[in-house]
Amino acid sequence: MAYYYAEPSRTFNEYLLVPGYSSSECIPANTSLKTPVAKFKRGEEAPLCMNIPLVSAVMQSVSDDRMAIALAKEGGISFVYASQPIERQASMVKKVKDYKAGFVTSDSNLRPDQTLADILELKARTGHSTVAVTDDGTQNGKLIGIVTGRDYRVTRMDRNTRIDMFMTPIDKIIYALEGTSLKEANNIIWDHKLNTLPILSDEGRLVALVFRKDYTSNKENLLELTDSFKRYVVGAGINTRDYRERVPALVGAGADILCIDSSEGFTEWQKTTLRYIRGAYGDAVKVGAGNIVDREGFLFLAEAGADFVKVGIGGGSICITRETKGIGRGQATAVIEVAQARDEYFQKTGIYVPICSDGGIVHDYHIVLALAMGGDFCMLGRYFARFDESPSNKVSVGGNYMKEYWGEGSLRARNWQRYDMGDPAGELSFEEGVDSYVPYAGNLHDNLGVTLHKIRSTMCNCGALTVAEFQKKAKITQVSSLSIIEGGAHDVYLKDNAGASATK
């Protein structure tokens, strides 16, 4: 007879935090969101920590080198997606490790023989107003000119006008040569009142761009996450098929931590993959595993050698695993049980294995609940897909800007390795993810700042200044359907931009 759980599995929506005593020192400015990412022994420091408890998902539409740089600046880790050729993924990892803060690789480039229409299409897709004009239209071509919003007027120009007819040509551009320090570049920007300073090689090829706006941004990134060589920390996804080739390439490129990207982690394939990494690299290479939703799954991966364990099946906004296969568990219930198993394992073995809550996050307060319930950090997909830094296209849908967002189990991603069940055909038999849009939200820095402030503020409401203290002091209550309604705006007439609405 099948085993039946006595209690239903529950979501984050079904819980609230109850405030605790807050001292005068308990203010957001005094909080620390530092959290461990890799396992450690009792009495020792974790070999790898983050300054914020957030990582971006191992997804084509979320995590590439640009997202990894942006998130590392904020104190988190991005796991570069694995559903691509090994060489390309390793190249993305290397770009992050080679990145010099303030020196931006141009990803908006066109040829001089292209037109204003191409400028407008590129701007709509990327959101970038500065376009480098190179001889071959590549990011490292010979710089011919620069186009900004000041160089053209859409209402007065034919869209077929060639770029070289209105761009600012190279002979009128102030630039610096490769080898210029960031301090020197910023001095040139301020001395000449520039918004953008191109960095060129001796042959005149574009190496990077330095922006005036990034000067302030760099001063604000007090939590940036770097390794011992002051390079940004970056993660990378792997699968249970080509790990013997992919892992060495990623380690060689400088990946700080790996993550087995799979919809279900309680498998022999994950154990075999972990055994290979431990045999080849010992504990030098950090690797997370998952996903699981119960005590048994956690203990299996902890014993197999995982540095962290990912919790959650079927809770992602683009995941339809529960619909197609009837497999999964409410995210809150899964996190609660796995956190208890982690604590028991720590008491028994003296080894603390961090857990990552992956999925089920709709509102910012769900992140806070995941942490209070024992999660060490959260993996987010939809959240990060909305920003400029995600690799997907920005498109206009019904007059509103959207970002494309698709699941790794969708036919668009064709990531059959993630859903590997040993099928030699190596293909998706059916979809476990959808292709969708999410509302465009702007840049990562500003949006993430609001989210982190909410987390810190809630921790203070509960009388905690660190994540560990928060988990000890948090008081959590289950809520009824009526109390959920009570928690939102009700029994009032809401205002909107068009005037008072008639909705209660």
Per-10-residue mean pLDDT, the chain, length 504: 93 96 96 98 97 97 96 97 96 90 85 96 86 96 95 93 96 95 91 94 95 71 89 96 97 98 93 98 97 97 98 81 81 98 98 96 96 98 96 92 85 60 55 80 96 98 98 96 77 67 46
CA distance 35 to 219: 23
Amino acid 324: pLDDT? 75
**What is the pairing mode between strands 308-311 and 355-358?**
parallel
Say if residues 296 and 266 touch (Cβ distance below 8 Å): yes
Q: Kindly report the pTM of this predicted structure.
A: 0.81
- Bridge partners of 77, per DSSP, are 55
Amino acid 319: pLDDT? 76
Tokens coding 110: 């066109």
Amino acid 183: pLDDT? 87
Say if residues 53 and 492 touch (Cβ distance below 8 Å): no
CA distance 53 to 51: 7
Residues marked as catalytic: 319, 418
Cα distances from 117 to residues 154, 163, 234, 301, 361, in angstroms, run 9, 9, 36, 53, 39
Amino acid 504: pLDDT? 43
Amino acid 8: pLDDT? 94
Amino acid 407: pLDDT? 77
Say if residues 451 and 365 touch (Cβ distance below 8 Å): no
Amino acid at 115: T
Amino acid 502: pLDDT? 46
Amino acid 491: pLDDT? 78
